[in-house]
Amino acid sequence: MESGLISVDRWRKGSQAYFLTHLHSDHTRGLSGEWSQGPLYCSRTTASLFPSRFPGFDLSLLRVVPLSSWRSLSLRSPSSGSSVRLHFMAIDAHHCPGSVMFMFRGDFGCFLYTGDFRWDCEGEDGARTTLVSAIKEFPVDILYLDNTYCNPIYSFPSRQVAAHLVADIIASHPCHDIIIGIDSLGKEDMLLLVSRLLNIKIWVWPERLRTMHLLGYQDIFTTDTSLTRVRAVPRYSFSIQTLEGLNMMCPTIGIMPSGLPWLKRPSNGVGDGKLLSGSLLTASTLPCRKQLPAGVHQFHDYMYSVHYSDHSCYEEIGEFVNLVKPKSMKGIVVSSACYVEPLYYFGRICRVSQPPELLLLRPDTAEQFRAVRIKSFSGNDETIDKEREKRLKRDGYSSFKRNKKRSRIQVKRAKISEID
């Protein structure tokens, strides 16, 4: 595919159409209420959340893409000026509300971009049925893969099993308040199952309650702390210090649902250690306080970690790649401390030679990988020239700063276009 046609989870100018897989902040870096580079294609759920996430955004730019059906649009070749026909389809990614994978096809071949995804669907799941049907007719040339946990050290249970583990921890502490660390979007199914199993309401912060209502959950969540002892709090506020402070008022435990092991940095004799995530060390390297079920670890008197993830684990990634059987593939996560090029483990499925060693960052060698402008967690653009790439690395990507300014949410009266 020629550069300058489309961008996926990338928001700088230079493309004719933009595609958003989901609304997590690492995929929307560069989007704002003032963004207006071109039409933006996303799922219906994602579109419904836009006004609250990006106040002032021109909703007429949104194009709602239905699941599991091919759509097409006409683009213009930047080099020749000739018409280019692009066919695309959205497939449920099972990551968070509104998340989708995008399949693109045309004269350039067929690409599949997973975005973040969890491939734990079984049986007659719509996403699996759609994908199997699509790849049978249009074999995938390049797979852009969520390789967050593309490492054999990562193995965790299904989300339903993990949610039951969370409920069991809560039930085993009947006299404790409970706090659960979550993000601003995602893990709703876990909270819903916990609520149903224990017949309780769950407290969330006001902005999160607004999101729950937009998603259609009206009666389970509350901002009234007197109605429940279980609170879902922002992940960034979840810490040992917070738990210790809460325990000075009443018995409280914390539960962190995450696919990553949570480890404790040595304190060097000064104060308490801090929790870290993302280490290659497994949870078994730390002593547990007591015998616990598989998938549950206790790293502090007040803190539990449960292996609940909205990303595919290594085994699920392997199953997915074996199903798709792309001619080649590229991981979309390039800044993780445990990054492994997917071809290292799964290149045999693509019928390519296995790399001789684990490489933290494998340089692109195929021009096709640069054709679709894609997002990466490090924030750099796969189509920038080598000099700009070197400068960004030297500066440590200092130009990317989070805008903390809050503004009143104003839902703009504009039509959100449907894709015919």
- The string of DSSP codes covering 259-289 is SSPEEE---TTSS---EEE--SS-GGGS--S
The verdict on domain 159-264+290-307 having CATH code 3.40.50.10860 is: no
For the chain, the domains span 6-152+311-349, 159-264+290-307
**Same CATH fold assignment for domains 6-152+311-349 and 159-264+290-307:** no
- pTM, whole model, 2 decimals? 0.80
pLDDT tens per residue across all 420 residues of the chain = 777 899 999 999 999 999 999 999 999 999 999 999 999 999 999 999 999 999 999 999 999 999 999 999 999 888 888 889 999 999 999 999 999 999 999 998 999 999 999 998 665 578 999 999 999 999 999 999 999 998 888 888 999 999 999 999 999 999 999 999 999 999 999 999 999 999 999 999 999 999 999 999 989 999 999 999 999 999 988 888 889 999 999 999 999 998 875 443 343 444 444 444 433 333 333 444 567 777 888 878 889 999 999 999 999 999 999 999 999 999 998 765 556 788 888 888 886 655 534 444 333 333 333 334 444 333 344 433 444 454 444 444 343 343 333 333 333 334 455 565
User: Per CATH, the architecture of 6-152+311-349 is what?
Assistant: 4-Layer Sandwich (3.60)
Q: Return the closest-CA partner of residue 16 out of 66, 67, 77, 60.
A: 77
DSSP state of 27: G
The amino acid present at 39, given as its one-letter code, is P
What b/e sequence results for 113-139 when a residue is b if at least 16 CB atoms lie within 10 Å of its CB, and e otherwise? Answer: bbbbbbbbbeeeeebbebbeebbeebe
